[in-house]
Chain A
Amino acid sequence: MGTAVEVRDLKAWFGKAEALHGINIAIETNHATAVIGPSGCGKSTFIRCLNRMHETNPDAHAEGEVKIGGSDIYAMPAVDVRRKVGMVFQKPNPFPSMTIYDNVAAGLKLNGMGKRHVLDEVVERSLQQAALWEEVKDVLKKKSGASLSGGQQQRLCIARALAVNPEVLLMDEPASALDPISTAKIEDLIFELKQKLTIVIVTHNMQQASRVAEFTGFFLLGNLVEFDKTEKIFTNPSDKRTEDYITGRFG
């Protein structure tokens, strides 16, 4: 299949505190990989390193090698990395001052690629991919992004991320603020999106990891303890720490 993201000896710090102690992992293309682990284990820090969002924190820095589609992300400007690697956050965060249309188009418009008919096409395609088109197609320029329900807002954020055509989509607990039906819709979406891009999803909900991801990595205290096919991790993990976590003996 191919490796979409190759990570070698990735370390990350917040000031002097080392949050990730040398992560080695290969993320498979066109598959979903889940990252699980207890609070504070470094899973959010890890994916924020993959699109260089980690360094937006003034005290933070990272070292190591991260290759996306074969290119070293530290050898190109951060903004370019973030156009290749999209991100969806835990709490839906549409731009409050913009309409639905403008929200989806923001990634293109504000990066200088903004011919009208091109934008129209991209907005429609992205909203369709995010399974939101039917619900908002009549009010694209009338309603603001913030006037939608929670589940719709999150799908709007997904559409916004998809509009810039990323290779990899990072999702940081995308459904944790949503009700079960919205969560199910997003999970179905992930299933569809996998065909076109690679997904890395952080979740503290193990059942969700097992529903959407073919591969799962278990993080603990800044280390990647185990990385394997999801069925193996959840039926017969190799490491005792993994087993203790998923059976609920701690965490």
Chain B
Amino acid sequence: MPSRYIKIRRQLTDYFFTGLAAGLSVLVVCTLVAILAYLVLKGAGSLNWAFITQPPKPVGEAGGGMANELLGSIMILAIASLFGVPVGVGAGIYLAEYGRNRLGKLVRFTSDVLNGVPSIVIGLVAYGLVVVQQKHFSAFAGGVALAIMMVPTVARTTEEMLLLVPQTVREAAFGLGIPQWRTTLSITLATARSGIITGIMLAFARIAGETAPLLFTAFGNQFWSFSPNQPIGALPLQIYTYALSPYDDWHRQAWAGALVLVILIVGTTTLVRFVFHRRMLTGVR
């Protein structure tokens, strides 16, 4: 039997580490809450109906909003997702199901490197690939830049989630005479769906706030624009511009813009989760 001294020491160590873990968790949550609270504090005041329905007013004029930037962000993110998600998920499927070879290693390596490339460099690449070819800035170019940033994250998380699906599930499908491609699409992918969606949402949240790549692709636009082939404003760009300006009014609008951006991101991820959770069945986590 361990002596009383050892028992007490064990107990204390247990309390200490539990306390430490709890404390650090609280610290993280507090940080997040602090950011949100500060945003709300600083931005809610300037957030009104006009803000989200009117484009910016010229310098010196009061009022105006970020309506077109909001639309711009939505458009760019939609284009980015349209390209980034299928390519990323496709790459992830290849790596998990067929990629235990040299090509797979190459793809993984490339993906990891791409992940580490500074966002402004990616913006420049998109500039060279799209803007220079089209001879104008556009929402499309912005979407491409952000898509490039999305792909590595989506690919890697998709691969990880697919690898988590037990081999027994695939074997059950093979045993029924279901070919490999069908198994991957209808069974393996469906099983890993929840994790893959989380990965996509993480990538989405990351690119939603990117500013640098949009500098020379979407470029920004003071006026309403509904075409993907025109330059367009985006929330992060506008926040950047307003925050660096000397005008108080613009500073307040920058805060409001930041708040709207955060609401946009949180809202989208929550909505997606909600939609896909509803379709899950009783008894399945």
Q: Which residues of A contact B (CB under 8 A)?
A: 51, 53, 56, 58, 79-83, 86-87, 89, 91, 93-99, 106-107, 110-111, 142-144, 146-147, 157, 160-161, 164
Chain B: minimal CB distance from A126 (Å): 12
Q: Are B169 and A79 in contact (CB under 8 A)?
A: no
One of B173, B182, B187, B284 near A144 (C-beta < 8 A): B284
Task: List the 10 closest A-B pairs by CB distance, nearest first.
Answer: A147-B283, A83-B177, A82-B177, A107-B176, A87-B175, A97-B190, A93-B168, A93-B172, A79-B177, A144-B284
Q: Are B176 and A106 in contact (CB under 8 A)?
A: yes
Closest CB in chain B relative to A44 CB, distance in Å = 12
Whether the Cβ atoms of B284 and A147 lie closer than 8 Å is yes
Given A87-B175, A144-B281, 10 more A-B residue pairs with CB atoms under 8 Å apart are A53-B175, A80-B177, A83-B177, A94-B172, A96-B191, A106-B187, A107-B176, A142-B282, A146-B284, A160-B172
What's the dominant secondary structure at chain B's contact region?
helix
Residues of B within 8 A of A (CB): 100, 166, 168-169, 171-179, 182-183, 186-187, 190-191, 193, 281-284
Find out whether the CB atom of B175 lies under 8 angstroms from the CB atom of A82. Answer: yes
A23 and B87 CA atoms in complex are apart in Å by: 47
- Closest residue on chain B to residue A95 by CB atoms: B187
**A157–B172 touching, CB < 8 Å:** yes
**Contact in complex: A93, B171 (CB < 8 Å):** yes
- CB < 8 Å: which of A83, A91, A99, A144 contacts B168? A91
Q: Which of B166, B177, B187 contacts A164 (CB 8 A)?
A: B177
Contacts A93-B169, A95-B173, A157-B172 given; does A79 touch B283 at CB 8 Å? no
Determine the residue in chain A with the shortest Cβ distance to B100: A58
9 contacts between A and B (CB under 8 A): A95-B169, A95-B172, A96-B284, A97-B187, A107-B176, A110-B187, A143-B283, A144-B284, A161-B175
